[in-house]
Structure 1
Amino acid sequence: MVRKILFIVCALFILFVGCKREHGAVEPNLPPWIEIKQPPANDSIVSDTTIGPYFALQTITWNAGDDDGYPVLYKYRYITHHLYRGDSLIQDWIETEECEALVAFESSDTLNLQKFEVMAKDNRGDWSTSAVRFYYTKKVERPETEIISPNEGDTLLFLSYTTERYHGVRLTFTGNDTLNEEGEIVGFSYRVDEGEWSSFRVDTSTYVRPTLFEPPFERIHTIEVKSKNNANVEDDTPAQVHVSLIVPSFGSSILLVDETKDGTGGPERPTDEDVDAFYRNILLGHTFDEWDYKTQGFPGRTRIGDYRLIIWHSDDTGYEFNNHAGIIGDYLMVGGNLWLSGWGILSTFSPDVNVEYSVGDFVYDYLQIKSSVLNTSNDFKGGIWGEGDSVLTDTTKLYRFHYMGLPSIRVIKGRTGWTKPLVSFISSSSDTAYQGKPCGVIYKGTTYSTVLLDFPLYYMKEDGAGRVCGQILEYFGE
């Protein structure tokens, strides 16, 4: 009986233990494993003199696995030992799902020993032990930055708000990382008046928003730009310029800028007094101030910002306007207006017979003209405008061999949809290639308006010139 009872007890024990193993046993988790792949061929772990240390920017890759699961996450960090200075820096752990990392090792000492370690986490939440590799890195020099524009001490026309065409102060810059053999610039950042630095961006030009300038605006402001290289090292001596801002008042009506040379008098050599008297007559009844470019130079941003309209004329074939086109462009962007006229004045931008203008050219950006062609014959008799009115050449002011009309007048071949014909070419010859083509155009925009006459008004008959002048000023609201 006793044997029977013992047999039953043993059988039940074996059955109980066996069932528990089958349904409730949990095998211990095996942690994942990880190893760092071999470094590039210039590994200098053994000696930093025979092969040379690494550049600070390196891609580190690793392999990982798990015998009873799979890796789901990795984390890495590095510790920098500055071998000359004798101190160390410990970086924070960074998590990633990738099996590689682009690491810019901190390398501010002449020679740096980097301890890189990486760990793997498996699908059960356990971490591996660290895989470790050592790298020597050489010192990373700081990049250098240069501001191209504006220039130191520039005075800039400024609005405290943006418009359709005005986006702020135009800032262009560049940088170099020539002190680092494998280095390159990867971004630029800027700030105004010691404010917050902008985020780094790869572009080498930007508009500094008006909101970054603190009032009062009409004072000296400091703009700084710094660069960063591919080893994540920033320029610690940012480039800077000091600029003065001028908020245009547009309180006065017209500034008449005369670029015509002072001649000896007679045909095609008018004196300064002759030209001044002519423009005073055709502008009779309008309020304007005169500025002689030949004796006074360029009027400057401060002065032009006082006027709603600039009339710039050059009644001979030498021009300086193109030297100041950038400033005039700034004036237009803040709401000024321009009337530009002269003897083939478009040739100041290019003397070629056939010219195509593109984005970045003053003629395209501000006059809204795409192309022009030069008429080399002396057959410009005048122009038609409005409802058939005309402005005709005054041949008494020309050399005798120009009796048929003026030479070197351009016609507008292509223009944007916002630019309209204003004055059309009248030919005195049988050549119809230029007949009826626009030699004067008007652009009326929401921010500014421009008029271009590619012929010299001084050599037109005064009555017709006065009428066309009155019509143009009406367009400008003056």
Structure 2
Amino acid sequence: MVGSMKKNNKLYKIAILLIGLFLAVCCTYSTKPKDPNKLPNTTVANIPVDGDTINAYVTIHWDGEDSDGYVTSYKYRYITYHLTKGDTVVTDWVTTNLTSKTIAFESSDELNFQHFEVKAIDNEGGEDPTPAVKEFYTVKAYSPETYIVSPQENQDLFILPQTTDWWTGIKVVFGSKDRDGEVVEYGYRVDGQGDWTWLEDTMAVLTPDEFALPLTGTHVIEVVAKDNTGIVDPTPATVQIVLFEPTFDKNILIIDETKEGDQTPGFTTDAQVDSFYNELFNPDTTIDYFTSGLPPKHILGRYKLLIWHSDYNFDRHNIGNEKDYIIEYLQAGGKLVLSGWRIIKSFDLGASFPQVYESESFLSEYLHVVGANESPSVDGAFAWARGRNGYPDIHLNKEIRAINDFPYFGGLTNVNIITPGAFTRVIYRFQCKETTSDNIRSVFQDRPCAIRYLGSSFDIILFGFPILYINPDEAKLMANKILEDLL
């Protein structure tokens, strides 16, 4: 029984196999071949009108269709025929997903014939064999003219090996003119190195790594403008500058802006003033501003400390015109002492006291003065100053008899009291003479009249009065404390 069942089962499997083979052989049939891909078609809008004469900056619109699929992208190019020159410029095909493009057509001839082609590409990679064509003329496109505003040719500037919070690099300001278009971009490079750096702004800040080594020496900056027709100024604007990396290998430079005479009572010669300051500070060098002007950066950058005095009674000291010079020195890491009669007024001509200074002003940002007032110009109220933060008390030099006469009457006129900014320390407070009226005393008595700022990049000491009139012995103690703080 069992053997019969096994035999039947075997016959069953063989029958199934034979049936499968029969079906595989007898039931095959042929299929219809796939239709060939139909290539896409491209159209271009009728703007600009064929044969028009227009400027070189042209927007062209196009479209594509595909009867058995869909359009995935486009290719376009143009050929420019220079009708006067007689030569031709052929651009490469450009692939895009867009259906319009604003193109700055090459138009360097007086009249240029433009032949534009665009073709659609379908989902199987098929390209329109007959691209859509747009033909028109363009007039000559003029290149922009680039100029550099600053720095000036052969200007000397400080440079540091790395940027700081205060010194961010060499600032270059530039501009351009374009007679038939609009400048959209500027490129610059330094010392002929590398590719052009492009930006839309009209100012660039060049960091030390952009200059060829050594940093100290002569360097050349080039700037070019590019307009909205894609034309780049073929003649870059250039400026040569002289950079100096400060060495600070000397201690003290004094710039003497004190004008001896009627406005400096008691001092009739330059030798008297020089003697006073030499005794106090023992400078490496003294420069007379009126005879020698300002020292170049390669000289200034050798001194750790600049002491500038304008100790004559005048409200328009030249130091007010030299803010950029002082800013450069401070940003480079210099230290500054300012002494002067009405020296704050020199930085804010025309302003009346009391005055408050904006945060971005030179007085506030660099000298750390946020406000100031000035004592009366007749019957001087200032008799002495009380020292603070380690500074000695100081009194007027009674040997200078001229300050006992009109308009001083034993006290200094036109002394500034100062509202100090952040991170400053008051080092002297105004003390009135005994005969000062209560009204004046209420405004000026014990108010700050000298301040000190010790910062991360530069240090400042500002006096609101001329130290030339301080008792020499007390002034010497004061000078020793200044040098202790700054050197």
Query: Please, what TM-score do these two structures have when normalized by structure 2?
Result: 0.82
Q: Please say if 1:207 is aligned against 2:192.
A: no
Deviations 1:393-416 (A, max 9, x none): 45744243323733333333362x
Pair 1:310-2:310 in alignment:
no
Offset, 1:339: 1.1
Q: Tell whether 2:249 aligns with 1:251.
A: yes
Counterparts in 2 of 1:358 and 1:233: CA distance versus 1, 3 Å: farther
Paired with 2:103 and 2:444, the residues of 1 have a C-alpha distance of: 66
Counterpart of 1:275? 273
Letter in 1 for 2:133: V
Q: Which amino acid aligns with 2:240?
A: H
Matches of residues 29-428 of structure 1 in structure 2 within 5 Å? 29-39=37-47, 43=49, 45-46=50-51, 53-128=53-128, 129-177=130-178, 179-180=179-180, 183-263=181-261, 267=265, 270-283=268-281, 286-316=282-312, 317=314, 318-351=316-349, 352-353=351-352, 354-359=355-360, 361-376=361-376, 378-387=380-389, 389-394=392-397, 396-398=401-403, 399-403=405-409, 405-413=411-419, 415=421, 417-427=422-432, 428=436
CA contact (8 A) 1:266 1:397 kept: no
CA contact (8 A) 2:254 2:283 kept: no
Counterpart contact for 1:265–1:271, Cα < 8 Å: no
Q: CA deviation at 1:25?
A: 6.3
Q: Is the CA contact 2:420–2:451 (under 8 Å) kept in the aligned structure 1?
A: no
Q: 1:375 to 1:262 in 2, by over 3 A?
A: closer
Asked if the contact 1:369–1:419 (Cα under 8 Å) also holds between the matched residues in 2, the reply is no
Q: Classify the secondary structure of the residue corresponding to 2:407.
A: helix
Relative to structure 1, the CA distance from residue 411 to residue 357 in structure 2 (aligned partners, 3 Å threshold; closer, same or farther) is: farther
Structure 1 residue 442, shift from structure 2 partner: 2.2
Q: 1:124 to 1:197 in 2, by over 3 A?
A: closer
Residue 158 of structure 1 deviates from its aligned partner by 2.9
Deviation, structure 1 residue 231? 1.3
Mapped partners of 1:376, 1:33: distance in 2: 89
Segments of 5+ residues of structure 1 without an aligned counterpart are 1-15, 48-52
SS at match of 1:402: coil
Distance 1:264 1:403, change over 3 A: closer
Deviation per residue, 1:54-111 (Å, 9 max, x gap): 2212222223333444322222211111111111111112222222112111111111
8 A Cα contact 1:337 1:450, kept in partner: yes
Q: Does the aligned pair in 2 maintain the 1:76–1:95 contact within 8 Å? A: yes
Summarize the Cα distance change of 1:29–1:458 in structure 2 as closer, same or farther, 3 Å threshold: same
Q: Report SS of the residue matched to 1:295.
A: helix
Alpha-carbon spacing, 1:418–1:202, altered in 2? closer, same or farther (3 Å): farther
The answer as to whether partners of 2:418 and 2:464 remain within 8 angstroms in 1 is no
**Count of aligned pairs:** 445
After TM superposition, give the deviation of residue 115 of structure 1 in Å: 1.4
| Cα distance in 2, alignment partners of residues 103 and 265 from structure 1 | 69
Deviations 1:205-262 (A, max 9, x none): 2232223333344443322222111111111111122222333321111011110112
- Distance in 2 separating the partners of 1:420 and 1:229: 53
Gaps of 5+ in 2: 1-26
Q: How far did 1:440 drift?
A: 2.3
Kept in 2: contact 1:189–1:197 (CA 8 A): no
Find the residue that maps to 2:443 and give its secondary structure.
coil
How far apart, CA to CA, are the structure 2 residues paired with 1:292 and 1:124?
A: 84
Kindly indicate whether residue 474 of structure 2 is the aligned counterpart of residue 456 of structure 1. no
Change (3 A) 1:122 1:448: same
Does the residue aligned with 2:260 lie in a helix, a strand or coil? coil
Instruction: Check conservation: 1:386, 1:422, Cα contact below 8 A.
Output: yes
Q: Distance in 2 between matches of 1:27 and 1:410?
A: 96
TM-score, normalized by length of structure 1? 0.83
Partner of 2:486: 476
Percent identical among aligned pairs is: 35
- 2:88 maps to amino acid: S
Report the Cα distance in structure 1 between the residues aligned to 2:213 and 2:51, rounded to whole angstroms: 60
Residue 338 to residue 194, structure 1, CA distance change in 2 (3 Å): same
SS of residue paired to 1:80 = strand
Tell me the alpha carbon deviations over residues 168-206 of structure 1, each in whole angstroms, 9 at most, x when there is no partner. 3332222111x21xx112222222332224321122222
Letter in 1 for 2:386: I
Instruction: Name which of structure 1's ranges 374-383 and 247-256 shifts more when overlaid on structure 2.
Output: 374-383
Change (3 A) 1:33 1:380: farther
